[in-house]
Amino acid sequence: MDHDHQEAPSDPALRVMALESLLVEKGLVDPAALDALIDTYEHKIGPRNGARVVARAWVDPEYKKRLLADATSAIAELGYEGGQGAHMVVVENTLQCHNLVVCTLCSCYPWPVLGLPPVWYKSAPYRSRAVIDPRGVLREFGLEISEEVEIRVWDSTSEMRYLVLPERPAGTEQMTEDELTTLVTRDAMIGMAKVTLTGGAR
Amino acid sequence: MNGVHDMGGMHGMGPVTPEANEPVFHEPWEGRVFALNRTTGALGKWNIDASRHARERIPPTDYLRMSYYEKWLAGLLMLLEERGVVSRAELESGRARPEAAKARPSLTADQVPAVVADRGRFDRPVNQPPRFAVGQAVRTKKINPTGHTRLPRYARGAVGIVDRIHGAHVFPDSNAHFRGEHPQHLYSVRFAARELWGAEAAPRDSVYVDLWESYLDAV
């Protein structure tokens, strides 16, 4: 049979399967390593890590000081470090200032504390608009920021990775660190949401 | 390069649409592409800047049409072929050249936890002190390189204030083209939204961009 003019399969699932089998045949890739990597980012590394950092900063003023001064080391204290988190900066939301993180050029995101980014973060609408219309983007997420409050947008153009330290909500004074952790959402650590007493789906 | 990947400030891309209960990977093949990128990266045939630049070289119409992990697949195929890891004939046939020696995998399952936990630093020691100080006004250069750069178009020719100095980091503009790391001091520069976008921008808002020293001039 002549396969010379056979069209390459256009379905990405088939193309990826073909590529994986070629790389395995050449001995370049161990399929078990692929399984382990997928399992790690599906089940072990995600926004719960970042939520622990935030909750610790809320209950421990000395930790918060270290976190704002040298985020990479302070986050490593809790055991979170790794690829796409080599150099961390934590920016703090206050009554006067709201922070928002984007990567306009690609999809830079702090993996060790937030896991892999959601589709919207990597999408053309977010990448194009976060820098020119942060208030409009926040409004679409249900967040109206007063004109009195300064918005700081952090464009991740280098290997520095940014994490937002959201405001601790009122009414949580009696909560334990573990309880606080359950309130902190991924979107709040990107700067697209506030932390509320009911937590949030994202 | 002035590619479509450089999206900051573009109009017409539509609303940002979050997805409830979003899975890490929407299809199994997305996870495979992600993991193939990580494992083949460990071969040491390219660096992270080169992989970003590969995805930037996807033709603009394809770039806008493709899903995120389709772009990762396209970029990976480019690098595998350009860096001589697989040949065009192998990619087309899906079979290894019969005479090719069998390699050893660059990454095995037992090595995955250590690789995931490895920071992989990008800061480097340099002899020169930083040229600019925190609080100093700087102007970004007007440049339009055809190769890789991390100076976004929207921030070119603009005046900002140095907010932080991150130390000297690998310079992506040379590293992406395998011309060496040439580390330079890296600055976080604060630009008033009005400096970037004009009088209609909110008066207090600002955008912080990480910029290498050679992108900047003193004002």
- Average pLDDT, rounded, for chain B: 96
- Average pLDDT, rounded, for chain A: 94
Q: Given an 8 Å threshold on Cβ–Cβ distance, is A125 in contact with B14?
A: yes
A42 part of contact set with chain B, CB < 8 Å: yes
pLDDT at B100: 77
Confidence class for position B102, pLDDT limits 50, 70, 90: confident
* pLDDT tens by residue, B120-136: 899 999 999 999 999 99
Closest Cα of chain A to B81: distance in Å? Answer: 12
Give B-chain residues touching A193 at CB under 8 angstroms: none
pLDDT beyond 50 at B160? yes
Cα separation, B151 vs B172, whole angstroms: 10
What residues are paired with B162 via a beta bridge? B189
Ramachandran quadrant class, A80 (left: phi over 0; alpha: psi -120 to 50; beta: rest): beta
- Residues of A that are catalytic: 103, 106-108
Mean pLDDT, residues B135-157 taken together? 98
Cα separation, B148 vs A55, whole angstroms: 39
DSSP letter at A40 equals: I
Q: Let me know: does B23 contact A146? Beta carbons within 8 Å.
A: no
B207 part of contact set with chain A, CB < 8 Å: yes
Closest Cα of chain A to B141: distance in Å? Answer: 16
Mean pLDDT, residues B71-94 taken together? 96
Cα separation, A42 vs A115, whole angstroms: 8
A7-41: b (≥16 Cβ within 10 Å) or e: eeeeebeebbbbbbebbeebebbbbebbebbbebb
Q: Smallest Cα–Cα separation from A99: which of A164, A185, A188?
A: A164
| Structural Rg of chain A based on CA atoms | 20
Residue B158: HSE in the Cβ half-sphere, 13 Å Cα cutoff? 24
B114 part of contact set with chain A, CB < 8 Å: no
pLDDT at B33: 98
For residue A159, what are its two tokens?
């290997």
Mean pLDDT, residues A115-119 taken together? 97
Q: Smallest Cα–Cα separation from B131: which of B84, B187, B175, B172?
A: B187
* pLDDT tens by residue, A68-105: 999 999 999 999 999 898 999 999 999 999 999 999 99
* pLDDT tens by residue, A121-161: 999 999 999 999 999 999 999 999 999 999 999 999 999 99
What pTM was computed for the model? 0.96
Cα separation, B166 vs B155, whole angstroms: 19
* pLDDT tens by residue, A59-78: 999 999 999 999 999 999 99
B41 C-beta neighbours (distance < 10 Å), count: 21
Closest Cα of chain B to A23: distance in Å? Answer: 8
A–B interface: beta-carbon pairs under 8 A: 272
Mean pLDDT, residues B179-188 taken together? 98
A197 part of contact set with chain B, CB < 8 Å: no
Minimum-distance CB partner of A26 among B96, B154, B172? B96
pLDDT beyond 90 at A4? no
Percent of chain B with pLDDT over 90: 93
Confidence class for position A2, pLDDT limits 50, 70, 90: very low
DSSP letter at A159 equals: S
Give B-chain residues touching A127 at CB under 8 angstroms: 7-8, 13
Q: Smallest Cα–Cα separation from A19: which of B54, B108, B27, B86?
A: B86
pLDDT at A1: 42
pLDDT beyond 80 at B57? yes
Confidence class for position A10, pLDDT limits 50, 70, 90: low
pLDDT beyond 90 at A41? yes
CA angle A161, A82, A78 (to 5 degrees): 90
Q: Given an 8 Å threshold on Cβ–Cβ distance, is B32 in contact with A38?
A: yes
B40 part of contact set with chain A, CB < 8 Å: yes
Mean pLDDT, residues A115-126 taken together? 98
B98-127: b (≥16 Cβ within 10 Å) or e: eeeeeeebbbbbebbeebbbebeebbeeee
